[in-house]
């Protein structure tokens, strides 16, 4: 944690008196602005909802998951085994940090601005260069697995239960991620342990993102178009819509579902976040990745993608920036 020359946070900009325009560094080029492809759901496009509870036949469940993976690369899960109260608690803890702590206190937890994906409070996670357009977002990134990376002293102490909530949420997300990876493996005709074994030791980060209200949402993005790097991302939102996924050339808004968890397949799914003129928005994304020393290669022959060391893949992603494209396309043979 460090405080380096009082770094600028989006929340501070949004709270300036009589702010009616956004600074130019946050204005997206015309082709990337939210109005380009529309902001709402197409009438026949809706993220699939998959029920993990009850006595559903495993083969039917895997068939549902396989179809959602092929057609969307994202789906909601209900009856997932994570206590609903815990989902509410982490949303409440994140909101309390961003909206109730003084800025000087929040800046005590600032991440290293010169180190990609460093733990802590920041604003520039997906920025590849100093002249890149900035996202209208602040965040707090937590390193949670392996347990050797989990340093609670680096996390906020307010609200009083913040650290305990993050730790419990982390444990629950790991269990769910491993269950889902098993079901996805089975849906591909592989052994249920295939993906988990290919991943090796699981690395997990939890990023709480805060998107302040924006005076010109038609010009900005809360989070630029990108795809995630790792195996699987589990995400929850508050009641304010803003997450969008790319589907058949359109941006489809993912409606918030308070009791459900959104599953995003790493590099298979382009997504972004739009901003809102009247309300701030909060989301919690839990990323599950392989160790950086792991060699990742296709499970099926003939391969369509080159083998890669995951750490090299991550470095390339941060060096070039997301540019709205699926990162895996760079590995096509």
Per-state percent for the chain, helix, strand, coil, to nearest 5: 35, 20, 45
Domain-embedded: residue 7: no
Domain-embedded: residue 257: yes
- The more confident residue out of 282 and 199 is 282
Element (H, E) at 197: helix 194-199
Question: Is the model's pLDDT at 1 over the cut of 80?
Answer: no
Question: Is the model's pLDDT at 121 over the cut of 90?
Answer: yes
Q: What local confidence, expressed as pLDDT, does residue 40 receive?
A: 47
Question: Is the model's pLDDT at 64 over the cut of 60?
Answer: yes
Domain-embedded: residue 249: yes
Q: Which two tokens stand for residue 202?
A: 């699981």
Domain-embedded: residue 62: no
Model confidence pLDDT, tens digit, residues 192-246: 999 999 989 999 999 999 999 999 999 999 999 988 988 999 999 999 999 999 9
Distances from the Cα of 286 to the Cα of 24, 52, 129, 188, 297, angstroms: 31, 19, 25, 23, 23
Q: What local confidence, expressed as pLDDT, does residue 140 receive?
A: 97
> 160, 115, 117: which is closest to 142 by C-alpha?
117
Q: Domain total for the chain?
A: 1
Model confidence pLDDT, tens digit, residues 298-318: 999 999 999 999 999 888 877
Domain-embedded: residue 248: yes
d(CA 88, CA 238): 9
Q: What local confidence, expressed as pLDDT, does residue 21 receive?
A: 87
Q: What local confidence, expressed as pLDDT, does residue 36 receive?
A: 47
d(CA 166, CA 170): 6
- Structural domain including 103 reads 74-181+201-330
Domain-embedded: residue 32: no
For residues 100-114, give the mean pLDDT: 91
- The more confident residue out of 124 and 272 is 272
- The more confident residue out of 155 and 330 is 155
- Beta-carbon contacts of 94 under 8 Å, excluding residues fewer than 6 positions away, are 140, 208, 210, 282, 284
What's the pLDDT band for 132 if we cut at 50, 70, 90? confident
Domain-embedded: residue 263: yes
What pTM, to 2 d.p., does this model score? 0.93
Q: What local confidence, expressed as pLDDT, does residue 257 receive?
A: 95
For residues 125-148, give the mean pLDDT: 85
Q: What local confidence, expressed as pLDDT, does residue 42 receive?
A: 43
For residues 79-83, give the mean pLDDT: 97
Domain-embedded: residue 42: no
Q: Which two tokens stand for residue 65?
A: 């998951």
- The CATH number of whichever domain residue 105 belongs to comes to 2.60.120.330
d(CA 69, CA 48): 10
Model confidence pLDDT, tens digit, residues 13-59: 998 755 678 999 999 999 899 864 444 444 357 899 999 998 889 99
d(CA 286, CA 178): 13
């Amino acid at each position: 944690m460090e405080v380096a020359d009082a770094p600028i946070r989006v929340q501070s900009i949004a709270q300036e008196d009589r702010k009616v325009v956004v600074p130019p560094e946050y204005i997206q080029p015309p082709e990337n602005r939210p109005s380009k492809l529309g902001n709402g759901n197409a009438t026949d496009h809706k993220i699939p909802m998959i029920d993990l509870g009850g006595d559903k036949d495993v083969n039917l469940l895997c068939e549902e998951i396989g179809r959602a993976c092929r057609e969307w690369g994202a789906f909601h899960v209900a009856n997932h085994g994570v206590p609903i109260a815990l989902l509410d608690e982490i949303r409440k803890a994140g909101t309390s940090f961003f909206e109730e702590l003084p800025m000087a206190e929040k800046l005590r937890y600032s991440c290293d601005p010169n180190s990609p994906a460093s733990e802590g409070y920041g604003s520039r996670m997906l920025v590849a260069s100093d002249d890149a357009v900035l996202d209208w977002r602040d965040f707090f990134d937590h390193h949670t697995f392996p347990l050797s990376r989990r340093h609670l002293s680096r996390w906020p102490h307010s609200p009083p239960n913040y650290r305990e909530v993050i730790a419990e949420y982390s444990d629950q997300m790991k269990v769910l991620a491993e269950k889902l990876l098993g079901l996805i493996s089975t849906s591909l005709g592989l052994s249920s342990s295939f993906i988990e074994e290919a991943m090796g030791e699981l690395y997990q980060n939890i990023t709480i993102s805060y998107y302040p209200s924006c005076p010109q949402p038609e010009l900005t993005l809360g989070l630029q178009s990108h795809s995630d790097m790792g195996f699987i991302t589990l995400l929850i939102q508050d009641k304010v819509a803003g997450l969008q996924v790319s589907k058949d050339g359109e941006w489809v808004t993912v409606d918030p579902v308070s009791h459900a968890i959104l599953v995003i397949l790493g590099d298979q799914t382009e997504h972004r976040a739009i901003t809102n003129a009247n309300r701030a928005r909060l989301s919690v994304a839990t990323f599950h990745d392989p160790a950086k020393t792991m060699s990742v290669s296709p499970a099926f022959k003939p391969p369509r993608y080159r083998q890669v060391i995951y750490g090299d893949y991550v470095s390339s992603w941060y060096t070039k920036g997301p540019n709205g494209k699926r990162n895996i396309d760079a590995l096509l043979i």
